[in-house]
Amino acid sequence: MGLVEELLVQPTITGILLVMVFFLIVHFLFSDASSQEENKEPPGPKPLPILGNLLQLNLKRPYLTLHEMSKKYGSIFTVYLGPKKVVVLAGYQTVKQALVNYADEFGNRDIIPVFFDFSKGYGILFSNGENWKEMRRFSLTSLRDFGMGKKMSEEKIIEETHYLREVIEEFQGNPFDTSQPLNYATSNVISAIVYGSRFQYSDLQFKEMVNRVNENIRVLGSPSIQIYNMFPWLGCWLRNWKLMMKNMEQNKKHIKELLDKLEETLNLEETRGLIDSFLIRKKKAEKAGDKDTLFNEQNLIMTVSNLFSAGTDTTSTTLRWCLLLMAKYPQVQDRVHEEIDRVTGGRQPVVEDRKNMPYTDAVIHETQRLANIVPMSLPHTTSCDVKFQGFIIKKGTCVFPLLTSVLRDESQWESPQSFNPAHFLDEQGRFVKKDAFMPFSAGRRSCLGESLARMELFLFFTYLMQHFHFTPPPGVSEDELELTSAVGLTLNPSPHKLCAVSRASHTHS
């Protein structure tokens, strides 16, 4: 007979106490185990005091180190960037589950020091709560009103393709850097929607503004700025931080000058662009005596700055990758030329042609997948304590949805590391959508200009392909064209030049 049974058969005070102690111990052990289970945080490498896991990261390309770590620690793990705890989400299933199925819990933006320096909590990209909701809602509505994803923006983009072609033709087939012409073209599309007009490529203020935005996006990915985000007190000693602040102030000043001009010529009956719509809302709030309105000057300057930066860099960077890949893989370029010539017969390509150009569409999608230009997305933060995949992630924890691990997920892509347009084609050569194609992120914080960007990529790419054959510079072989990305917040191709040889005989327009 066991101890407990014996004590129960011959009840004594001692026996009863022993039984109670026995049950308390059992309860304590099991409840402690379950509470440990309930408070289980994602695993990760052991951090050092103050430095965290800093010494284990490649600060020029942290997304590569984090992707490697996911193979050891799983699809959800913890790292410390200096003293700051970060939860990394890796792989298609985990990232999608967090951003889509737990959209509210993972939907806030983590406003790291450098982003706060820029925005002070205004605008769309680096704000939360009511401010973010109102500015995003307004921007989406305005972008749609001014033609995003519709015929109106298609016409603006088509008009810009002609200006871009003229600039490229001036190089007469000689090697040139693709970055500035493509940056100016994509900037002008967003400018036409936001300001109501485009700029001349020769406009010095416009060129300086675009160049400052690009410089800031490059510097944002530098090791010194990442160190600054971990230890903000270092700011005043960092050259890159001072450069970014100077660029930001100059761009804000330039935006303010443009806003003042638009305000002077504002017509309440006829809105020219998103800024006019904002100014009208601002005046109505002022007239009604609403001192707490979110339609204030800080939000206007920051929203315009956000749209201009996001609308310029990501699209032009993707187009640069498209042209570089065409020069590197001439057999792919030949198939694209053949399909475009067959479908258009030499007339201007239009969005409607996309459904008849499955191969070209697959090439654009595969470029976006392989170029992987926003590898870590922008950081999120949890809006409450979240129980996710058996782990507890506390409210206010910084979260990196590792988009590179989605776009290179071996369970989703046949050859994740190589350029393979067949990823988006079925056996009959028809275009196939892929769930793990997530370059615009997903959920509440997905790119609000996605439909505009998709339209731009298709129209610019097909028009350039229709008119030019892209090759490496003389003396450089296709194999020598580098596919390593430069360091930056977004991943641009490494500096290079291409030749754009006219295909005049193939086109009639």
Q: Is 447 assigned to a binding site?
A: yes
Name, in order, each residue with C-beta under 8 angstroms of 261's C-beta and a sequence gap of 6 or more. Answer: none
DSSP per residue, 105-169: TT-EE---HHHHHHHTT-SSTT--HHHHHHHHHHHHHHHHHTTTTSHHHHHHHHHHHHHHHHHHH
Burial class, 289, CB count within 10 angstroms (exposed 0-12 / middle 13-18 / buried 19+): exposed
Token digits of residue 324: 């570089």
Name, in order, each residue with C-beta under 8 angstroms of 227's C-beta and a sequence gap of 6 or more. Answer: 59, 82, 234, 238
**Which residue, among 61, 489, 53, 58, has the nearest Cα to 240 in the 3D structure?**
489
DSSP per residue, 438-471: -TT--GGGS-TTHHHHHHHHHHHHHHHHHHEEEE
Give the CA distances from residue 265 to residues 145, 179, 270, 274, in Å, rounded to whole numbers and listed in that order: 20, 34, 11, 14
Provide the b/e sequence for 120-141 (b: ≥16 CB within 10 Å): ebbbbbbbeeebbebbbebbee
Token digits of residue 60: 């020029």
Sequence length of the chain is 509
User: Residue 467's Cα: distance from chain center in Å?
Assistant: 30
Q: Which residues line the annotated binding site?
A: 447
List, as residue ranges, the binding site for heme: 447
